Structure 1
Amino acid sequence: MSGPAVVPLAGVALAAVSADPLDLAAHEAAVATPRSGAVVSFQGVVRDHDHGRAVTRLEYEGHPSAADLLREIAAEIAAGPDVHAVAVSHRVGPLEIGDVALVAAVSTAHRAAAFAACARLVDEVKARLPVWKHQIFADGTDEWVNCP
């Protein structure tokens, strides 16, 4: 779901919605700066169960506005007084068990601020990003999650 070229936002090293596999190391490298003493990252990984039901695979579908909103969320976190840089990506399309669906990385001077900013980034993405999860269960049933 790549779109037109976007002018970089201050402190946002990377913000993308993509069908391509996500690379944690690339996100961590994107936020590393000489003044950063802490880089905290997160990977959301497709698991084989949900609420006691066996999951065989997922599909994520994103609204056309998802990439723009992801950049907006990243900019909000990057504007924090202790934050040096932010990188975040969400994957769309079919994913298998063990695939990475969300990657986030944040750099700050100290670890406590980095942990807090990364947690806030992930929470905001989960709460606001218009990306919906279609879970396929081992019993042949399915379910859409996060659909309004």
Structure 2
Amino acid sequence: MGSMSENHDPIRLLAVRETPLSLDEVYEAVGDDAAGGTTVFVGTVRDHDGGKTVAALEYSAHPTVEREMRRVAEKVCADFPVRALAAVHRIGRLEITDKAVIVAVSCAHRGEAFAAARRLIDDLKHEVPIWKHQIFTDGEEEWVGAGSC
């Protein structure tokens, strides 16, 4: 961590990966000496959805995904006093309890950090072109597009 000038870019890490996500990497990316509050959200693969038992998930993304993530992140930074922001989303096949998405936001105060992180994860889920393919234990499958994953 280190002090940042007032003209720093608060977007420290944005990525879509096929490899397991690191909570430590995301948390460390938003370290900032001027931040008094850091909020981290981790979305994991759960074992059920809509009353059905989930066996696994597969996430896929449109080629514009990182550009869209940046657009969402820039809007959050424009609307909140963000010191540092990071977001990573996994694609490919994920098993139950795997980390699917991690977002983190650091601000001077905790209330701002909570609000900014909430907006970041909500907007990522609703606006970024990532699709979830759910595979249920009964053999049924379901695709869920950006906006409801």
TM over 0.5: yes
Shift of 1:66: 0.5
Residue 4 (structure 1) aligns with: none
Per-residue CA distance 1:32-51 (angstroms, 9 max, x = gap): 10010011000000000001
CA contact (8 A) 2:125 2:146 kept: no
| Contact persistence 1:54–1:138 (CA under 8 A) | yes
Counterpart contact for 2:57–2:95, Cα < 8 Å: yes
Match for residue 28 of structure 1? Answer: 27
Q: Secondary structure at the match of 1:69?
A: helix
Retained in 2: the 8 A contact 1:13–1:31?
A: yes
Q: How many correspondences in the alignment?
A: 140
The secondary structure found in structure 1 opposite 2:123 is helix
Aligned counterparts of 2:80 and 2:51: Cα–Cα separation in 1: 41
Structure 1 match to 2:90: 91
RMSD: 1.4
Partner of 1:74: 73
Query: In 2, distance between residues paired with 1:79 and 1:19?
Result: 29
Unaligned runs of 5+ in 1: 1-8
Uncovered stretches (5+) of structure 2, i.e. residues with no partner = 1-7
Equivalent residue, structure 2, for 1:116: 115
Q: Secondary structure at the match of 2:121?
A: helix
Structure 1 runs (4+) greater than 3 angstroms displaced: none
1:136 matched to 2:130? The reply is no
Percent identity over the alignment is: 45
SS in 2 for 1:95: strand
